[in-house]
Every structure is written in structure tokens, then in C-alpha cells.
Structure 1
């Protein structure tokens, strides 16, 4: 078959063209040709068509044949160029051949043209074929190189002797070697692998692949020691490279870094072992709630094997005593993506019931979708039994506390009743004409009675604090007036001992503060009394200053300094302990129960502060205490206490019914009333009082609370019922030995108007009587309506309870947000509501919450919150 070629002729006439074509065709070639005559046409012709060969005339109108060849080369199209000329010199030929011309033929030797063209065509085809193949191989190698470079695995090849021929980028990264440094080196030097179990060198994988003539891998726990001596867990496969004859020419090794995978596997293995051997029950359920996994502890606790429960729903363990709302709330929590905590009452395989506490958490995939649930459970059956036992113990303790409180009330009544007679008779006798010696004797009796009464009050106060029944008021009062009144009460004792007594209040302290004036007075009385008691010369000074200042509250720091006997270091430890003095000999010399400081410290702490002492034996003492107070506003309050001479006019018209079962007290009280000009009548018990009030009208009733046949509370209730029908109203004052905190409020809430504790002090009794007479309303119907608003108490209680529930919800939110300001506010609100509701346990817990909140101990507040929640159910 003849070869077809495209021939481009440059610079030839018609005759020359015919001759050239003849010579070429004569050599078995089929020719398609085109003739052009200048360089510009060459460029155009090269772009239009592919030419197999170009023949250029050496002499045609000054055509530069080498220029023609340069244009051909610039086209970057591989084609042979042959020059025909009249006279071709050897130098020209050499120059042309150096520039890439294939051949130069003289026209006189034109017979050579056909064979030369045929030869060049053949050579060109062979050359182009090789170039195409080389290009294909280069592209293939390029793609292979890119593939190897982008692989996540390391790849290395060696020759038959194990010397490195190639390594990709990942191989460099894993080993730490660059290919430039590793090329030609023994593979085992670059790829140092060690069995981590025995720390010995592993077998050379190149030699293994050649030995077994197949792909081989590495053992587990094989590590690669990098050039930096860092170790990595790796996996690898080594395979022999075979040529066409099946002869091994080298080895290819593909390997990867599995350190992260190995660490994850070990971690998963460790976690699995931890879960499997956990002391807690672990259950994993799928999205539908059916069990996928249980650990060994589950089998121990329930008696069910994993085979018996996998695929089952946990409802098979239920006793069936939990309501649907319980599980509905649980699933709502879990489906929202939150953890659920709670208790289940389940049964074991043998039917035995048990309690378990569970924390169930949703497990999510990387898209955030819930796929499983994991439950960590703990058997709390014993704890439940203990809680039940503690519950009964608490009830018993509460009963015991109630009995104790009742005992204290009875003790107070039994002691105060005769004390009332003693002090009353002394006061009455002091109002008569006496000799100097008689007056002095009676004053000694009165002082002794006052000391005894103070001891009784201290014991009762301490018992109240110990039982958690001591409450702190928050009312506005004038600090200057309070301190002035307290210090004046000690002036006589200070003058008697020739001690200077003074006080100083810093000018930046507000005149009106909000706190508990009674308890502050009690603390000051204890500390100032002690200071004067243990100081024989020098001074006692009381200083008030601000410790911390806020917008609506501040912290007061108070110092009571004396120049007395001081306190030794070894004695300070028991200074604030109950019934304790620093030295037992002091009791004989100075007297006292040793309760004053203990009570003062407890009161200060209840008021959100602290009490401490700085002292040295023989050099006096400085007692400090702090309390948190609110800042009040100056408000005009009319004085309710009335002096004894205001109501002298027309006093004989005022008749008072004295309801009292004790004869001595009857004598004392009626004598007091008669001395003041009041008319009086006696009722020996509540029943007599009811009968008398139904027949006679009185301006005032003095009602003893604890009496035989009918007590004062029941008598007051029946008198009020009768008065409502009759349209009248008589003020009633409770005269009682009940002197515990809250008794006044309790009695007034039961329909009484006033309260005076026994032993009765004349001034207090008549202040209370005259206050009620002065402020008795003229419109009796309004008075009666206000008193009988007690009928609406139940509605008020409901409102308060609703308010308490709302405030507790707010407190829970503040605790979750850890908002200290809101926590303290809501805790304080709860305290006041609990006091109004008179829920004893709630009041006790609320007071502890207030103290903890003030000290920033919000974890304790949160713990007490749940106890409070239980107490108000």
C-alpha cells in the first residue's frame, strides 16, 4: 500500500514542481502538494494544514531558506525540511544541518530526492510515534506520581537488595525522612520497626516479601521509630514486584500511621472494661427505648442475664406503681436533649422490689441526632430504708422538740407565776411609806428577782436558738436612741464602780436602720454588762462604724472595749461555749450562767454577722461584732407609750376585769390597778369571765392564758363571738407566763389586743392598758369588723401559699443562673412569707437559707431549697 504525504513546496517554478513530484511519486509515494513563494505565506500554510515534509528552493527571488526553516521551527510542528539548490557548498550544508535541516540536495543530483523524502517521511513517522509514546508514558508517570503524592498511605519501593528507589510525600511525613536523604539507603534503616511488646526489632518486611513471594503484613503492636526517635503505631503490607518473566525486581511497601486509631481502640477498650466492671448499673437503649447493652453489675443487681433483656423494653422491671405523668415528664426531658435524674421502684427477676436512682442521658451522633440513651443506675434500697427511718426519727425529734417547747412554756409559766407575785408585791410595798432599812431590803429582793428573771430569760433564749425557733425581725428604728437608752441603763453600775462609760457612733451611719432592735439591745446588754462586770477601773467604750456600704443596706461593725481583767489565750477557746466561763472561780465572784456570750454569738450570726474578741490577760478586752442592716428613712411615729400621769382624769370610771386563777396574782394585779385608780373585778377562770362579761360591761379585760376549766384563748374566742352579736367591743390584754418569741404575735392573732409577760412590771402593764384605751376607736362597728377579719384568714393563707410557690420557682431560676442578687432577694422574701404562714420547719430552713445566701454559700442554699420545698407541701 502506497504512503500518502502532504508536500509543501516553497519558491519553485512550474517546471521544478513537476520534476520534484515526478521523483517523489517514482519512489512509491502519493503526493498532495501546495506551492508558496514567501515567508508570510509559509506561516499561513502551516496553520491551515499539517505537512509531512517541506522542500525549499535555495535560489528564488532572494528567499532566505534558513529563514524558512526558522519559521517552521517556530510553529512547533515537527516536520522535516529539505533544501534544493544549484550549488550547495559544504559550509552551507554544515550550517543548515546544524540548524536542523534534514538534507541539502543539488538540482543536478535530483534523483536522490525521492529516496531522501521517503527516508525522512519514515524516520519522522517513527520519531513521532516514539514521542507520542514517551508523552503517554510521561503523562502516565505524572498521574501515578500525583496519585502517590496525594495518597493518605505511605508508599516506598526498593530494589531486590532492599535499597530505597522511591517514596511518596506521606512516606516522608510518617518516617521523618526526605526522599533525597533516603534514596539508595537500606529500607530497614529508614523504616525502623519495633515490636512494642518486647521492644525488639521486627523482621524486615522486604526480606519477608521476597522470601515468601507474596504480600505480607506486620504484627500487632508494631511501631515505627522515626528519624526523631518518636514512635508511631503503624500497619503495613509489603509485596514483591515481578517483571514479565515473573522475576522479582523489587518490593513495594504501603503503610499508614494508626497511632490515633490505636489510642482510640485502647481508650474504647478501657471504657468498655470500666463500664463492664463498674460498681454502678449501666444500661444502653436504642432510640426506641429497647435495651442494647447491660453490664455485669446489672445482672448482679436484677438477676437477669444480658441475653434475657437485650431487645426488651425496661418496662419489664416496673412494679407498676408509678403514674403515667412520671414517665411522660421523663421522656419530654430526654427528647429535648437534656439529662434526666430520678428514682425507679422496680423488681428483680425473683420478684423482689428494689429502688434505684438513675441518671439517663441521650447519646447523639455527629449530626446532633439522638441515637441511643445511656442510664447509670445505683441501688438505693438501703438508703430509702434509712430515709424512711430518718423520717420517723425526724418526726420523733419534732415531737420531742414540741414536748421540749411545751416544757419550756410550762416551766416559764410555773416559774414566772410565783415571780410575778414576788416582784409585784415588792413593787406595791415600795409604793408605801417605808423606813430606809425596809426600802433597802426590798430593793435587794427586787435586784435578786431581776437577776433570777434574767437567768430564766437566758435559758429560754438559748433553748429557742438551739431548737431553731429564734427569729430575727427587720424593722426600722433610731440607732442613736437605742444605744443611748442601753448605755443609760448601765450608768448607775458604771458610776458605782467609778468607770467611765461612753459611746461613739460614726457620722456616716444613718440615723434610721432596719434590723432587730430587741436582739441588738440584747447583744449590747450582754457585752456591755460583761465589760462593766469584769472592769474595776478605767473605762468601757462602745464604737459603731460602717464596714461595708451599699445602696439599700450596709454592714455595721461594733466594738466594746474595756480596761478590765482581760482573757488569757488558753481561755479564749471556751469563751463562746454554752454554760461556760473562762474560770469557774469567776462564777462565784461575778455571777452568771455563762450563756450571755454564747447567745450573743448565735444572735449575731442569725443577723448575718460574726462575733470575736481580741484580748490579753490583765490588759482589757475588745469585743467586735458585725451585723447586716438595711438603711431606713426618717418617719414620724407618734409615741405609743404613755406616761403614768396622763390619764389621771376620770380613771375611776374605767373598770377592768381581771381573769386570773392564781390568788397571789389576783391580789397583786388588783392592788396595782387600785393604786392607779382603776376599778376591778375578779374572774377565777375563763368560764367565769364569759358569764361576767355577758352581764356587765368593762373597759378592759386582763386575761391569763393558762387556767383550769377554760383557758384564756378559748374564753377570748367566746367573748368575741358574744360581742359580735351584741355590737360591742372590749380590749383584752394577755397576762401570761408564756414569754417565748412569737407568743405576742400568736395571741394577738387569736383576738387579743395586747400582751404583757409575767412577772408583770407595773410600767409595762399600764403603758399597755393606757395605749389601748387611748387608741380605742370611737366607731365600734368598724372596730368589730376589723377584729373579725380573722374570718378571712383562710383566704389570706391561700394567697400567701400561692405567693410562696411562685417565689420558690423564681428562686430556683436564680439558683440555676447563679444570680447572687436575685438569690438573696428571693430567699429573704421566702423567709418573710414563711413567718407569716407560721410554718415552723419552713421558718427554720428559710433562716438558714438567708444566712447561707449572705455568706455566698449558694450550694447550701440549693440543698436547703429542696428541704424547704418538702416542708411547705
Structure 2
């Protein structure tokens, strides 16, 4: 083996460029017993390459020159290894230290945010990197190897927009001899984006100044550039913003303001830097607002709000401040301000940014809208004030108080009103509000148009505003101790005419915007309208007073005329009535009858006029009492049947069977309407018939709507005359008036009465054929207690033949019979009747009864009845005869075996009872219905006191009473009546109301007290009154009378009244006319103790106070207070179930509400209340002890 060759080729380890740490394995190989010499070359080649650990030369030579035993080799290796270890430890320690330093250096460069680079050949290749740190990959995404490998890498990745600029800058730096260059540009990254790089280059030059190399660093400034761009945009936005922007430090020193701030406030940028925002304070913003602002900012929270600030220089327009007492400051402005703390990452406040916007116009609009809203509300309140039912001065005073409360007007709670004299240029002081000097009040009672401010406003009719009373030359009038003020002078216009002015004291320089001006002008118009209404009201009141006085005089006149006419009429009618009862010749009888009818017609005229007067004055009152409308209608027809029969007319009456049994309403007024319509039909019909029909067209559980119809076959009425018929004092034509007479008031009164009953009236008429007058009325149904209705189906199975030549009568009777369950047939004459009777007998359907009319052509009913009686086959058919006035003797009735004779028109109830009695074989009533007046009852032993001052009336009454077998005592006045009553007992008293010395009212009151004091039984007292007014009738009842009878009266009326009261036995006073104690006790659940307590409360407290109040109202002519007192009394009367008293109070209340004060009605009410107290006290004394 050539070991030398092998050695010579070995390169010692210490000659290597880099320290190596490989571990030789020679010793291990020797220990294995291998021939080291033979293998040394391979081993050296394999293990001892230049990077191997260096070995001593001697050891290498030993290993290469001779074989070595294992022991020697081991010893040698051990020696070497020991030496090696010592050397290796020293050398390897230095290497490790250098490696650590190198690693740290590499780590420092790679983690440094700056990329280091070098251009070693800056002269020939100035743009090629020869060295660059590894952190370049983190910056641009390319590795250092990629950068170093490409000579044009840097130029290729420059942003196209930056390339020329950057290269030119480098060239300029190189050529100019600069040693340092800083430049920024964009560099293309591996991800396709660009980053901003700040390049700091050091140009290394030779001593001669030539460029040798470039060493520099790159820093990624993309974020910085982003921040700068953002800041630039923010700055541009701040510079361009129309809002005012301010930056301050933590001590509120101004660091920045934008141009808008300078332009708007007048402060220059250099002036405000270092100052504080206090330069904007106006002193008008409340201190509390600034306190809240500072507290909010100290908490680190933003604050938003409005501030009234001041500019440095004057603007071209002023801003008005409501309520100011000086000219407006043109430098003030309203700002919407937002202040936000600027904080660092730890939340510490570094400063503040303030943004404010001028909102003066917005605030102005808001103020305008707010003022308009407040002014609108104020106008509404003022309108309500002016609409009050109070004197004008009271309303204007309240209006001024309302104006004083408006802050927008800055009024000094001081003002007044001048009102213009009618048709003059003078205004008088009408009202003052506030504190005025005596000098002002003395001197300013009257002003002329054109004089001072108020006179000028009155003359021009336009709103006048004064800023300063001392500087305004129009303010002519000066007063001692007058303080500076402004004025609003408002003309009060009505129909474009100045009616006065309102003057208001204000602070100097009051607001003068259009909103306030319009408000004041509108208020002036409203006050002007109120003045016109007040003038019209006073004129209306005067006219009403005149009308009331006229109405009062008219009522008094009618009452007097009624009394004056009825008094002699009583004598006329009474004597004529008595005259007809004496033996007279036929001619004398005719004369007496004509005279009586004429006097009665005159009485009807008087009654019509009185009724019309009541309707015209609104004093007509309807009663609400229970009555039977079927019975009422039939009675009227029976009453008027005599007139109809006298003219050979048929008067038919049909009342529908399905009518309610009892109704609640005014039967007297209903009777008056029917009397008029039926009477007219009879009057204007010369031949034929008059048919009365009553049906129910609507019915609910509580109310019924009735339809009345009166048809006739009279002269008829032309259509063009229909509308005139229901007007007062009008008839169809003058010829009718001359032929038939009448006042023309009947239908007008009927129309008003129908309307009072919630109905309507009308007619259908054809001239020459006849007329149909109809009307409706709504009445309440009496549901408890229930009254018996006509029986239904009580004649079921009966066959009845109706024989009458009048078709209407046949139809009416058929309807009645059908409703009662009977089967009926009709015949229009005797021949047909006989034929039907025979036919029915042959058919084994004989009639049970035949109703025969007396007056028929060819054969009357009496002869037909005789024929039936003469035929044995027909004798079993019962017969009833209907007569229209003919008198049938008892002998004639019996000879024809007529079961009953009835007068037309027929009552349903009477007809049914008679039919039922005959059909059911009950003993019939065989007496003929009386066609004359009833025989008077036997009054023997009864004693009557007649109290009458008129000699004629005395005679009439005494004659009538004497014919009735009554013992009568005469008293000429009330005083004589009391004397007679004290000395003897009377069963009845007929008391005239109007008499000298003592009238009937006073006499009645005294006698009732006497009865009570002496525990005497109550004597019925009937008022004889020539006054037919409702108030007079009520006054009679209030005074303690039991009933009334209007003059003139005849035998029938007197007999009816005597029958009513002489059959009544009373052991104790009857208090039903004023109140119903039993009903009241029932309402109190039978609590007698509570009843007594309420009575004592009335007697001791309520009644005296009410009587005092009523008298005071009369004395003061106070209609409003009278209405309230009457209303209170009405409630108490209702509690005591005193219907008469309640009615009087309600009427007085209604009149007083219309401003009508009636002393008579008030006195009547007081008397009624006193009567209630007296009778109530009597009830307490009669109450059983508990």
C-alpha cells in the first residue's frame, strides 16, 4: 500500500475553512482486529475527508507505516484520545460561542421589522442586491434567494406609477454626492398586492467621493400610509364641513378649529389656538346647563345639547329672544353642540372634539311653531271665555288675565279696554286690569280717535306696537312715576268697524314677529265679535222684555176677558137652561133653544181663543193620566150623534178590537181634537154619513201609535186649500165662514195638540165627494194593573144576521162579530133579510139573532121585526133594533118582541154584553137606553154653601141647586163664607175665586187651617172660576180646593160635579191633591221613621230656605237663581210624590230658563209648598206611635 500518497492527499482538519465535529472510528476499527494498514486508505478516504476531525501527524504516520497490534493500537489511541480531548474542549468551546453569536445575529436580522440590504457593486449594477436579510420574505412574500438571484428584481417590482420618480431620485442622489437618501414607494408583493416601503439608503463613497456601495434598510409603512390617508381624509372632511369643529386638550385649550368655525364665528385660526371655548359664551345659557355638561364630560361620556352662543362679529340678521327688555343682540346664535372625549387605549382622556351646528333658523321655526301652537290654544281658551254666559266686562277681564299668562308676549300684567261710543269718534274707558296710578285713571276716562297710541289705533283700525314709551313720539300722554315700557294696541273690529281698542303694557322692545301680530289681530276680531253679540244680546233682551211684558199683558187681558165674558155667559146659559125646564109654548121653546145654542157657540169661540193663546205662549200642558181610548171615542160619537141624526146623517164608529185596554195620556185634549174633526164633518156634510175609525198602527210593549180617521160625504176641499186649513184664523174660503161660521182656530189648535202628542195630522179630500181627516198620536200603554179587554170568541158558534142599508155599519158590525167568534151574514134591506132568514131555516142553519136597523128604505127595522115575529118558523130568532134617534115606545118593542133597542153609534162593550146575555139565554136588559139626560139623584137633606159675589151668577146657581132638592146657603164673599162655615156644617162648598174683601183662594186656605186646628172632617170645595187657564186651575188645587168647574156651567155639569163629590165620605183630610204619603212610604220600604225624619227636614229647614230664596229671586228679578231654586224644589216634590207641586216647579223652572219671571206662578208655587208642609205635618201627627 502506498501510504505516502494517501497522506499527501489528506487535508488536515485544522486547515479546513470550517470547524467540524465528526468523531473518528479508527480505534474502534483497530480493536476489531482489522489490518489498519490495509484499510487505512479507505478509512481515510471515507472518514478523514477535509471535514474530518484533525489527527496528529505522528499518529497518522504511525497508522500508515506499520501494522500495529491491538494492544499497541489501543494504548496509542488512548494516549491520542486524551490529548485530543484536551485540545478539542478548548477549540470546540470557542466554536460553540461563535455559533451562538452567529445565531443571535441571524435571529436579530430576521426578526427586525427593517429589511437590510447591500449593493456591493453599486457602480456597475446599482440596482442589484448582493445581500439582503431573510425577513424580506415576511415583507413581500419573496425569499432572499429569489431577490438575490434576479438582477432586475427590484426594478421589476416597483409600482409603475412610482418607478420613474424613485429611479430619478436615486440618480440625483448619486450624482449630487449625497451620502443618504430617504424615499417612499410602492412595491409589488408575491400575493399581487402592493405595500408601501420607506427606503433609507446610505451611499458609501471612496475618499475621492466615488460611489462604491449602497447599504440600506426597508421599512413597511403600509399601515402608516393608511393612517395618513385616513387622517388626510378626516382633515379634508373637517376642512370642508359646514359644521364648526373644534379640538381641545384635556385642559380645554383649543388646538384646532376648522374653516367653518372661523367663517361663522368671526374668530381667526391663529386667534383661537390656545384659548378656551368660553370665548363663545353669551351669558344667556342657564348655568345649570353648563354644570350638567361638565359633569357629563368628567364621567368620560359624550354630551349633546343646545347652547345660545355669541359670535365675534355682527351678522346681517338679528335673532329675537322672547321676553327681552332690550334690542335684540345680532351676534347671538343657537348651536346644536356635540362634545366627545378623546381617549387613549387605556381609556384616559386626552382631549375633546366639539362639533356644533348653527340651528338659529331651526330654533326660530320651532319657536314660531311653538308660539303658533300656544297662541292657538290661547285663542281657544279665549274663545271659550268669550262664549261664557257672563257680562261682557267679566269676560274681557278673564281674557286679559289669559293674555297676561302668555310668556311669548312679555306683557306686564297690565292693560285695559276702551269701547267706542255709538256713532262717534270717542272711546270710553271700559275696563282696567293691573295697577294704574290715580292720575291715569282720572285723565284717561275718555280718549278721542287720533289721540295718543290708543286713539291712533282706533282711528287707523290697525295693530300698533310701541317699543319704548319714552322714545316713541306717538306716546303723547306721560304720567308721573311712569316707568319704561312698550305697548301692544289692538283695535277691536266688528264688521270692519272699530268698536274699541285693547291696550297691553309690555317690556320695552316687545316681540314683533308675524305670528304674535296675527294672534293679537285675531283676538281683536274675537273681542269685536263678542261686543257685537253683547249689543245684539242686549237688544234681544230688551225686545224679549218688551215681548214678555206684551205676553204678560196679553195673558192678563185674556184672563180678565175670560172672567168678564164667562161671568155674564154663566147667567145667560144658566137662565136659558133653567128656562127650558119651565112650561113653554112651542114657539118659546124654539126661541130658548136658539138662544142657548148661540150662547154655547160663543162659549166655544172663547175657548178656542184661550187655547190658541196657550199654544202661542208655549204654556199648554198635557196631562198624563190613565184612560180608555175605546170608551172615549165611542162616547164622543154618541155625544155628537144627536147633531148627525138631526141632519139625517149616519154617524158610524169603528174602534179596532185589538187596541190596548188602557192608555196614558191627556183624554181631554184627545176629546177636543175628535170633537173638532167629527163636529166639522157633521157640520159640512148635508147628506150621507160620517165614519169614525180608530186603529193601532204600531205597538211596542210600552207605547202605541194610534190612527184616527174621520170620513164624511160632505162638500170636500180643493187641493190648493189643504195647506191653509191648519193655519190659525183660516177656513177654506170666506163663503164657508159665512155659511157655517167658526173662528178658523179649531184645526190649528188640533194640529198643535197632535204635535204635542208626537203625531201628525192631514187630510185627503175630493170636492163634491167628501173628506178624510186623519191624525196619529203616540201614547203610553198602561201595563199595570191590567184592565179587562173585550172578550174574544165569547160568541163562538153563533149565527147572526145584520140588516142595515148602510154599508159602513154592516162592515163595522161584521168586524165586531167576527172578532167575538160569531158567524155573520149581511142584508142591505128587509126583503133580502127575509129571504136569507128563510133560506137559513130550510138549510137547518137558522140565525140565532138578527140585528136590525130602524131607518131603512121601503121597510124599517120595527116592521121587519114584526114580520119575523108573525112567522112561527122565524120566531126563535132574537131581534135587536138599532135606532138613530127615533124613540121606540115600550109597547112597540114588546109587540115586535125586540130584545133590546140600542142607539147609534153603538158601544162595543154594550153590544157584546147584550148579545152574550141573549145568546146564552140570560135575562136580557129590556129597558131602552136613555136618549135623554139622567134623572138627578135625590139630594134631600144635603146642604151646600154657595160663595158668589155676582148677582146673576147667584140666581143661576141657586135656581139649579133648588131644582135638585139641595138646601143652599149664600155667602157674598170669602169672609162671609168663613163665618157661615164656623156656625154650621155643609156637605159641599161652591167657591167663586175672584171676589171683593176676601177671594176664594184666601178663604179656602183659612178654612183648611181651621179644619186642621179643630180636627174637623174635610169639606169638599169646588172652585167656580171664570178663568180657564191651566195656571188658574192649578192655583185652585194648591189653595186647598178639591176640584174646579169653569163658568159658565149648565145643569149637566153641575149634576156631574155633585154626583162626584156628594157621594164621597171623608173622615180625614185628603192630601192626594198635593202628595201621596202612601206611595212615598212604599218608596222608603215602609220606613215610617225615615218618612217622619224627611218631613221634619222639609218643614224645619228646606221649605223655609226655599220660600226665602223664591221671594228673594222675585225681589231681585233674578231668573237664573229662580230657575235653580225651582229645580231644587222640583226634586224635593218628586221625592215626596207631590206631582202637582212638581208640575208647578217644572213649569216655573222652564219659564225662568227662558228669562220669564212670573210672580203669580211663583206665589202659586210658594202656596203649594206651604200646603205640602201643612199636610205633611198632619201625616206625622196621624202616624201611629212606634
- Bin the TM-score by the shorter chain: 0.5 to 0.7
Evaluate the alpha carbon distance shift between residue 692 and residue 612 of structure 1 in structure 2; reply closer, same or farther with a 3 A threshold: same
Asked whether the equivalents of residues 82 and 101 of structure 1 are also in contact (C-alpha less than 8 Å), the reply is no
1:526-583 deviation digits (Å, cap 9, x = unpaired):
2222233333445544455566666644554544444443333443343222222121
How big is the shift at 1:297? 11
Question: Alignment partner of 1:838: what SS?
Answer: helix
Q: Which residue of 1 aligns with 2:634?
A: 484
Any residues of structure 2 matched to 1:236-275 within 5 Å, and which? none
Q: Match of 1:686? A: 974
Residue of 986, 989, 992 corresponding to 1:704: 992
Give the 3-state SS of the residue equivalent to 1:514 in structure 2: strand
Alpha-carbon separation, structure 2, partners of 1:488 and 1:315: 86
Q: Which residue of 2 aligns with 1:774?
A: 1063
Question: What secondary structure, in the 3-state scheme, does the structure 1 residue paired with 2:779 have?
Answer: strand
| Unpaired runs of at least 5, structure 2 | 1-93, 118-132, 159-187, 193-201, 206-212, 245-314, 318-356, 387-395, 443-476, 480-491, 493-498, 505-518, 789-931, 1078-1094, 1114-1119, 1125-1130, 1166-1186
The question of whether the paired residues in 1 share the 8 Å contact of 2:414 and 2:433 is answered with: no
Q: Is the 8 A contact 1:656 1:702 kept in 2?
A: yes
Shift of 1:523: 1.7
Determine which of 88, 97, 100 is the counterpart of 2:190: 100
Between stretches 78-87 and 398-407, larger displacement belongs to: 78-87
8 A contact 1:468–1:844 mirrored in 2: no
Which has the greater radius of gyration?
A: 2
Partner of 1:669 in structure 2? 957
| 1-structure distance, mates of 2:753, 2:437 | 54
Give the structure 1 partner of residue 411 of structure 2: 292
Change (3 A) 1:834 1:704: closer
Q: Is the 8 A contact 2:715 2:769 kept in 1?
A: yes
Check conservation: 1:494, 1:532, Cα contact below 8 A.
yes
Match among 521, 524, 527 for residue 378 of structure 1? 527
* Matching residue of 1:516: 666
Q: What is the correspondence of 1:282-321 to structure 2 with a 5 Å cutoff?
A: 284-286=403-405, 292=411
Alpha-carbon contact 1:401-1:467 (below 8 Å) kept: yes
| Structure 1: 5+ residue stretches without partners | 1-13, 25-30, 37-44, 56-68, 103-111, 153-216, 220-253, 320-347, 361-372, 813-824, 847-863
Q: In structure 1, how many angstroms separate the alpha carbons of the residues matched to 2:648 and 2:535? A: 66
Instruction: Please give the alpha-carbon distance, in whole angstroms, between the structure 2 residues aligned to 1:399 and 1:867.
Output: 10
Residue number in structure 2 paired with 1:419: 569
CA contact (8 A) 1:502 1:541 kept: yes
Q: 1:736 aligns with which of 1020, 1025, 1036?
A: 1025
In 2, the alpha carbon distance for the partners of 1:747 and 1:606 equals 25
Sort the Cα spacing of 1:119 and 1:551 in 2 relative to 1 into closer, same or farther, 3 A.
Answer: farther
Counterparts of residues 414-563 of structure 1 (less than 5 Å): 414-434=564-584, 437-503=587-653, 510-537=660-687, 539-544=689-694, 552-553=702-703, 555-563=705-713
Query: Residues 488, 393 of structure 1: CA spacing in aligned structure 2 closer, same or farther, 3 A cutoff?
Result: same
CA 1:500–1:139 in 2, change beyond 3 Å: closer, same or farther?
A: farther
Match for residue 133 of structure 1 among 209, 218, 225: 225
Report the alpha carbon displacement of residue 466 of structure 1 after superposing the two structures with TM: 2.4
What's the CA shift for 1:780?
4.5
Change over 3 Å in CA distance of 1:512–1:80 after alignment to 2? same
Q: 1:407 to 1:299 in 2, by over 3 A?
A: closer
1:734 aligned counterpart, secondary structure: strand
Distance 1:455-1:419 versus aligned 2 partners, 3 A rule: same
- Is the contact between residue 291 and residue 310 of structure 1 (CA under 8 Å) also seen in structure 2? no
Counterpart check, 1:606 vs 2:606? no
SS at match of 1:78: helix
Distance 1:477 1:143, change over 3 A: farther
Once the two structures are TM-superposed, the CA of residue 458 in structure 1 deviates from its matched residue by 0.8
Question: SS at 1:658's partner residue?
Answer: strand
- CA shift, 1:761, in A, is 2.4
Range with greater deviation from structure 2 (780-789 or 481-490): 780-789
CA RMSD across the alignment: 6.7
Distance 1:300 1:417 in 2: 57
Compute the displacement of 1:589 (Å).
1.1
CA 1:314/1:557 → structure 2, altered by over 3 Å: closer, same or farther? Answer: farther
Instruction: Return closer, same or farther for 1:525/1:70 CA change in 2, 3 Å cut-off.
Output: farther
1:138-188 Cα deviation digits (max 9, x unpaired): 464378679989989xxxxxxxxxxxxxxxxxxxxxxxxxxxxxxxxxxxx
Looking at structure 2, the residues matched to 605 and 665 of structure 1 have their Cα atoms a distance apart, in angstroms, of 38
> What TM-score results when the alignment is normalised by the length of structure 2?
0.43
Match of 1:251 in 2: none
Cα distance change of structure 1 residues 260 and 593 upon mapping to structure 2, 3 Å threshold: farther
User: Are the structure 2 counterparts of residues 743 and 867 from structure 1 closer, same or farther at C-alpha, using a change threshold of 3 Å?
Assistant: closer
Counting only pairs closer than 5 Å after superposition, residues 47-62 of structure 1 correspond to structure 2 as 51-53=113-115
- Contact 2:716/2:771, CA 8 A, preserved across alignment: yes
583-592 or 500-509: bigger deviation: 500-509
| Separation of aligned partners in 2, 1:439 and 1:72 | 157
Aligned equivalent of 2:139: 78
Q: 1:772 to 1:145 in 2, by over 3 A?
A: same
Secondary structure in 2 matching 1:472: coil
Corresponding residue of 2:1035: 746
Q: Distance in 2 between matches of 1:147 and 1:509?
A: 98
Partner-residue secondary structure (3-state), 1:464? helix
1:482 Cα deviation after fit: 1.8
- 1-structure distance, mates of 2:665, 2:438: 57
Structure 2 residue matching 1:682: 3-state secondary structure: strand
Paired with 1:570 and 1:601, the residues of 2 have a C-alpha distance of 18
Asked whether 1:34 is paired with 2:34, we answer no
CA 1:298–1:82: 2 relative to 1, 3 Å: farther
* 2:1003 aligned residue (715, 718, 739): 715
Which whole-Å CA distance do the structure 2 matches of 1:647 and 1:654 have between them? Answer: 13
**Contact 1:292-1:310 at 8 Å conserved across structures:** no
Local SS of the residue matching 2:1003: helix
Moved more, 78-87 or 423-432: 78-87
Question: 1:294, CA displacement in angstroms?
Answer: 11
Label 1:311 to 1:523 Cα distance change in 2 as closer, same or farther (>3 A): closer
Inter-CA distance 464–585: structure 2 relative to 1 (3 Å threshold):
same
What is the aligned partner in structure 2 of residue 198 from structure 1? none
SS of 1:410's equivalent in the other structure is helix
Deviates more, 1:615-624 or 1:678-687: 615-624
2:30 alignment partner in structure 1: none
1:591 to 738, 741, 763: 741
Asked whether the 8 Å contact 2:627–2:664 carries over to 1, the reply is: yes
For 1:233, the equivalent position in structure 2 comes to: none
